[in-house]
Amino acid sequence: MDDLSPLPPAILTVAPNGARKSKQDHPMLPITPSELADEADACVQEGAAMIHLHVRNDQGGHSLDVTKYREAIAAIRDKVGDDIVIQATTEAVGIYTPEQQMDMVLELQPDAASLAIKELVPEGQEAGAKAFFNEMKTLKVMPQFILYSPEDVKRFEMLIAEGIIPFKNPFLILVLGRYTSNQQSHPRDVLPFLSALKLERIWAVCAFGPLEHAAASTALAMGGHVRVGFENNIFLKSGERAGRNADLVRQLREVADAIGRPIATAEDIRKTFTD
C-alpha cells in the first residue's frame, strides 16, 4: 500500500475479561454467558466487530472447556446475531499444553481463534503445528497470531516462509507491554514490531496499562487495527475508571472518526480473512 492509499476500515475488537481479572478488579467485568452477551451487544453498538472471548470454570478460573465456550457463544449469538465475529482464545495461562489448546479449537470450530506463536509452536514441534494450522484452514477457522516481541515477529515470518503457517492473509496482533516492568506499554513500543514485519501484513495492537488508548490511537493512525478491553486495561484516557468495556471501544471509534477511517463490520472481517 503506498502512502497515498486510503486507510482501510478499522477493526475494533473488544477483549472484555481475560484470564485473570475478577469482579474485584471491576464489578462490570463480564464472566457469565449472559454478562458476556450483554457486553458484546453494548460494544457492537459502539463499533466493535469482534470479541476476544475467554470463559471461566465453575470456580472462576481460566478455562478452555468447549462446553463453557459453546454456552457463551450461544448467548452472544442470541443477543447480537452475526454482527460480531467471536474469537476464542487458546491462551495456556500455564495450565494447558499445546495439544490441549489445538484440540479445543478443532472441537469447538469457532469463527476465529487467537494463537500465540510462543505457546503453540515451540522449537522442535513445527510438524504438529503445521498439521493443526492446515486443519484450521480446512475448517475455515480464522486465525489471529499473537506476537509478543520483535523476535516473535521474526519467527512468525520464518514459519510463513517454511510453509508451517499456510494462511495467505494472516491477521496479527502485536502485544505491547506484556513483558515490561509492571506490564506498562507506550505507543512507541509498536515501532520495533513494525520494523520486523513485512509491509503488507494486516496487524492490530493491544496494549497493557493506562496508555492503552494512546497506543491504540497510534495504531489506528498508522493503518493498523486495535483490541481494547478490561483484559488489558480498565481506565479511560482521562485516567478515570471506565464504566464498562464499551466505553473503551467508544473512545477508539471517536479516534477513527476523527482521522477519517470507517469502522469495519463483522462482515468486512469475514470477507477480508477468507483464505
Question: What CATH number is attached to the domain comprising 181?
Answer: 3.20.20.70
Residue 105: what pLDDT? 98
For residue 53, the surrounding DSSP H or E stretch is strand 50-53
- Give the CB-side neighbour count of residue 65, counting CA atoms within 13 A: 13
Residue 199: what pLDDT? 80
Residue 2: what pLDDT? 47
Phi, psi dihedral angles at 203 (to 5 degrees): -135, 155
Q: Report the domain count for the chain.
A: 1
Range of the domain at 32: 12-272
Looking at residue 198, its amino acid is: K
In a domain, 42, yes or no: yes
In a domain, 191, yes or no: yes
In a domain, 5, yes or no: no
Q: Considering the entire predicted model, what is its pTM?
A: 0.95
Backbone region of residue 124 per phi and psi (left: phi > 0; alpha: psi in -120 to 50; beta: other values) = left
In a domain, 46, yes or no: yes
First to last CA, the chain: 20
Please report the sign of the dihedral spanned by the C-alpha atoms of residue 150, residue 152, residue 154, residue 157: negative
In a domain, 2, yes or no: no
Cβ-proximal residues to 157 (8 Å cutoff; 6+ apart), any chain: 196, 197, 198
Residue 1: what pLDDT? 40
In a domain, 6, yes or no: no
In a domain, 197, yes or no: yes
Cα–Cα dist 134/142, whole Å? 12
Residue 251: what pLDDT? 97
In a domain, 7, yes or no: no
What rounded mean pLDDT belongs to the chain? 94
Question: Hey, which residues does 63 pair with through a beta bridge?
Answer: 55
Q: What is the pLDDT along the chain (275 residues), one digit of tens a residue?
A: 445 568 899 999 999 999 999 999 999 999 999 999 999 999 999 999 999 999 999 999 999 999 999 999 999 999 999 999 999 999 999 999 999 999 999 999 999 999 999 999 988 889 999 999 999 999 999 999 999 999 999 999 999 999 999 998 999 999 998 766 677 889 999 999 999 998 889 999 999 988 999 999 999 999 999 999 999 999 999 999 999 999 999 999 999 999 999 999 999 999 999 76
